[in-house]
Chain A
């Protein structure tokens, strides 16, 4: 036995103990479910059997109300700041198309889709208000390289326009590609605008500023047919089930992307709605059961968290082998 090394018995005892302790601590992680305070989180129920797309109006009421309530947050780029994303030739500029209401843009945070859905031999026209679904484990917020998006304790997922660099990664990892980019605004202009950044991303905020004041989101308040309900998330979930049960209908948004706080209820299956949207070339579609981007990484994440234990044990084995060799 060499100088300075503890005796074999002591070494084995200490290594096993520390390895076991570490494994215990790490295994407790899946029980680290901080009470989500689900009762504090808000949710929405969108009843597609009630939405008629406001066909008699120029712009659907919810869309108009949303634009009015949020216009002070809309981007205001200077013409000289609108430049291509070098070395690419393109850049995303909607500032000259602010009146568009039939799709999501930085100036239009909700819109209503209209699609003909075939089901059981019948054709039904379905109107679908679309916007951010404020997911439970939002990949947009979790994967932003600058943490520019936050899931607020109350549930809404909010982009901070003073941090967002407009990389549009959030749009890519969102299964519905909701966030929209406007070039020529945001902190990237102060850094190296030709080489890094693309603008700022915009989307529905669930009228966070209004709900903090105890008011309803603008779309909820404006709907003439009360197709959109708002309240505590679990209450909205229960109502969605109750409504779907009553009409023999279907729910969308409960399981998708790992769970969201927006529950759509429809009389026709969402698989049929999704097929119809895709056939009509409409976006976003409604892929049923779409998985969360983070599902697989989180599986490997457990290996990352256990790696220290493995390293500890491997070191122990290596030292033990060294001791046996009489170094």
Chain B
């Protein structure tokens, strides 16, 4: 799990940086004058980085989906009622009301996952079309690659907004323990019992 999250995080960061670098931004805005970044305005270099990071992201994404599907681990998929319950949880995180007992994931985590999954799906599929259209031996109709370009740009914005929201979540106190979890791959038993009682009860029953 840590391998996947690490791969997605690093490759996505490289993709965003090199992706924005496909626009003629870095020379105009003098990013290429920052120390160590003189290559940033070189389209040849940034495109190669983008392709390599894309291969890595696709590898990690597919591995993630297939791994959990084979193990039938579907706890993170959204459930009916998640929208309403997320609102209750968010209010609780700001001190208004109490968090209802949660399963392995909080409802807004499931919704956030769905948002990120959709956004990544969009950039990856449209990215594939963009890669295909660059091959000399493949002729795709222009409207297809035009749609792919525009949706890829939309998907990029969605991913960036999602990542910002994802990072902002750690500003909320109840979520702070998860920063360590990102590195260790575990949550403490106390955290699980207190915040994810439905899941905790289920797996402690199994253990007995």
Contacts and interface: CB of A to CB of B under 8 A. Distances in A.
Interface residues of A, number: 52
B77 to A, nearest CB: 16
Given A297-B47, A297-B48, A307-B59, A316 B139 contact: no
B24 A167 contact: yes
Interface string A144-171: 0111001100000000000000011100
A146 B131 contact: no
B149 A311 contact: no
A88 to B, nearest CB: 6
Interface stretch (B50-58, B95-103, B115-123, B175-183): B50-58
A15 B59 CA distance: 16
A145 B22 contact: yes
A157 to B, nearest CB: 11
Contacts of B134: 137, 142-143, 294, 297-298, 301
Interface in B13-32: 22-24, 28-30
B63 A318 contact: yes
Contact of B58 (A29, A85, A304): A304
B116 to A, nearest CB: 17
* Interface SS majority for chain A: helix
A25 interface: no
A60 B70 CA distance: 70
Contacts of A319: 67, 70-71
Interface string A285-322: 00000001110111011011101101110111011001
B171 interface: no
B81 interface: no
A297 B28 CA distance: 24
B36 interface: no
Contact of A147 (B22, B137, B139, B146): B146
Contacts, number: 134
Interface in B101-145: 127-128, 131-139, 142, 145
A209 interface: no
A30 B63 contact: no
B72 interface: yes
B62 interface: yes
A294 B47 CA distance: 9
B61 interface: yes
Interface stretch (A32-40, A70-78, A222-230): A32-40
A143 B145 contact: no
A310 B66 CA distance: 11
Contacts of B70: 5, 11, 15, 315-316, 319
Contact of A308 (B28, B43, B58, B72): B58
Nearest to A320: B70
Contact of B138 (A32, A85, A145, A198): A32
A318 B1 CA distance: 11
Interface residues of B, number: 45
Contacts of A29: 132, 135, 138
Most buried by B among A87, A150, A311: A311
A145 B149 contact: yes
A173 interface: yes
A312 B62 contact: yes
B24 A169 contact: yes
Contacts of B29: 87
Most buried by B among A5, A29, A308: A308
Contacts of B65: 315
Given A172-B43, A316-B66, A32 B137 contact: yes
B12 to A, nearest CB: 14
Contact of A297 (B51, B127, B137): B51
B55 A304 contact: yes
Contacts of B132: 29, 301, 305
A121 interface: no
A304 B54 contact: yes
14 contacts: A15-B70, A145-B22, A146-B150, A147-B149, A172-B24, A198-B24, A298-B134, A301-B131, A305-B132, A308-B62, A312-B62, A314-B59, A318-B67, A319-B70
Interface of B: 22-24, 28-30, 43-44, 47-48, 51-52, 54-56, 58-67, 70-72, 127-128, 131-139, 142, 145-146, 149-150, 153
Closest 5 CB pairs of A and B: A311-B62, A315-B66, A307-B58, A137-B136, A311-B63
